[in-house]
Structure 1
Amino acid sequence: MKNLIYLAAGMIFLFFAQGCQDKKGKNYNQINDDQDGIAFIKNGIEGGLMEIKASGMVITKSNNHRVISLAKMIIDDHTQFGDDLEKLKTDKKITEADSISPAHQLQLNDLEKKKGTEFDKAYLQMIVVDHEGAVKLFTSASANTDSKIKKVATQNLTTIKMHLDSANAICISLK
């Protein structure tokens, strides 16, 4: 009889211990997904602002119609991405102001000093590097457990990859 009581107590203990472990694991994963989601929103907005600003320079400084067409497409698409990310930002109650990082601002300042083909190449290289990072960011966010974050990331990933491919192709064609 005593052994049965110990066995039953042990089973109950294991049952509750397993339940607590599952909750800790789930809560930990949820916290990580929330942090990843917030980082996705902030980095997505910041990267988009930088690309829109750089692409705006292209319209006034470049004479290459392919580079200008890409820049206009990036402005249109990233404005839409920005709207989607701003909605997520509001949903997540993120109150920080949108801004361009000092590192990206330095890139923009350097870009503004360039002219002609040198400007076009620098712009395209900036877009390639930034879009490679964006592909990683959006791919990671497309696995987030938050359905809204996952939807925005998944819907926009194809367009970001297309921007990357276009920028690479134009960059290669420049002499």
Structure 2
Amino acid sequence: MVDESAVSFIKRGLEAGQTAIKASKIAEATSKNSRVINFAQMEIADHVNINDNLQKIAITNKVAATDSVSNVHQAAIEGMSKNSNLKFDQAYIRLMIDDHEEAIKIFNVAKTDRDEDIQRFARRTLPVLMMHLDSANAIAESLK
């Protein structure tokens, strides 16, 4: 069994992934910008894979984790969805930047967790999250 910090990491990681997936599906369907659409498709593919792997760790360690989005993230997604065109793209990319910055902090802590599976998962996933953040920042610059 994992300790409380690992349980927290698993739950927060799954929720962050679900947020990225949900927001990105909306972006994929709403945006007219090919860079934003391509980014959203990458987000969906990568975060489905990340969440699948994290869910396996949760199951192995008997951690009850849901695949829901927090009220705070749901409100951010709804706020983003009320925009259109450039304002939508900017709001989506801002959400992705903010969430990936937070996720990177969480994963940096998890890479030193006592549980080796959590450590390996965090170390393997961090470069993907960092690449997502770099891509989102580059897109944000192009949307100014």
TM-score by length of 1: 0.79
* Cα distance in 2, alignment partners of residues 111 and 41 from structure 1: 26
> Are 2:85 and 1:97 aligned?
no
- Per-residue Cα deviation, 1:29-75 (whole angstroms, up to 9, x for no partner): xx9x7111111100000010011000001111101111111111110
Give the conservation status (yes or no) of the 8 Å contact 2:112–2:119: yes
The question of 1:56 aligning with 2:41 is answered no
Uncovered stretches (5+) of structure 2, i.e. residues with no partner:
none
- Large movers: runs of 4+ above 3 Å: none
Secondary structure of 1:77's partner? Answer: helix
Aligned to 1:159: 128
Give the counterpart of 2:106 among 134, 137, 140. Answer: 137
Equivalent in 42, 48, 51 of residue 11 of structure 2:
42
The answer on 1:107 being equivalent to 2:76 is yes
- Aligned-pair Cα RMSD in Å: 1.3
Structure 1: gaps spanning 5 or more residues: 1-30
Q: Which residue of 2 aligns with 1:17?
A: none
**Aligned residue type for 1:71:** A
The structural deviation recorded for 1:97 is 2.7
Pick from 89, 96, 101 the counterpart of residue 127 of structure 1.
Answer: 96
Task: Give, in whole Å, the separation in 2 of the partners of 1:55 and 1:83.
Answer: 17
> C-alpha distance in 1, partners of 2:61/2:47?
20
Distance 1:97 1:62 in 2: 28
Counterpart amino acid of residue 171 in structure 1: A
Shift of 1:96: 4.0
Stretch of structure 1 that moved more, 97-106 or 150-159: 97-106
Residue 8 of structure 1 corresponds to which residue in structure 2? none
Alpha-carbon separation, structure 2, partners of 1:156 and 1:37: 15
- In structure 1, give the amino acid aligned to 2:4: Q
TM-score (norm 2): 0.96
The structure with the larger Rg is 1
Task: Give SS of 1:144's match.
Answer: coil
Select the structure with the greater relative contact order (CA < 8 A; seq sep ≥ 6).
Answer: 2
Aligned-residue sequence identity (percent) comes to 40
